[in-house]
Structure 1
């Protein structure tokens, strides 16, 4: 399992599967609004109905700060991911 975070979009992604090939997420269950309406959650499934990953929107409001701090950073402008120290 791996967690990435895009600070520009304030979105986190929890990758459940080891790898998610392009086009593998063929069905999404969205949006699931968090209690209090603080954020939204989107579930990605493959063709077999297996959960691949979870996207969390407005992540800073929904996730503990320690999770955001430990996540790999993803810049939506350059597509590069870097690990934060």
Structure 2
């Protein structure tokens, strides 16, 4: 598992699994709103339905600072 953070976009990405093989298309389950009313989640799944990553928009509003501090900065 690995997390990156783009401060300019205020977006984080948590990679849960290796990328899909080039012949496999990842699909997205878009825009899951969180209770804080700001942060949105986008789930990436591979062609077999396995969750491979999570994109977090408005990450600074939805992730604690200590979590963001551990992310690789882009």
Q: Do they superpose with TM above 0.5?
A: yes
Query: How many residues are aligned here?
Result: 73
Q: How high is the TM-score relative to the length of structure 1?
A: 0.78
- List 4+ stretches of structure 1 deviating above 4 A: 21-25
| Structure 2 alignment gaps of length 5 or more | none
Alignment check: 8 A CA contact 1:25 1:44 kept: no
Q: Specify which structure has the bigger relative contact order, considering alpha-carbon pairs within 8 angstroms and separated by 6 or more residues.
A: 2
| Structure 1 alignment gaps of length 5 or more | 75-85
**CA deviation map 1:25-84 (0-9, x unaligned):** 52111100010312100000000000000000000000010011110011xxxxxxxxxx
The answer on 1:7 being equivalent to 2:7 is yes
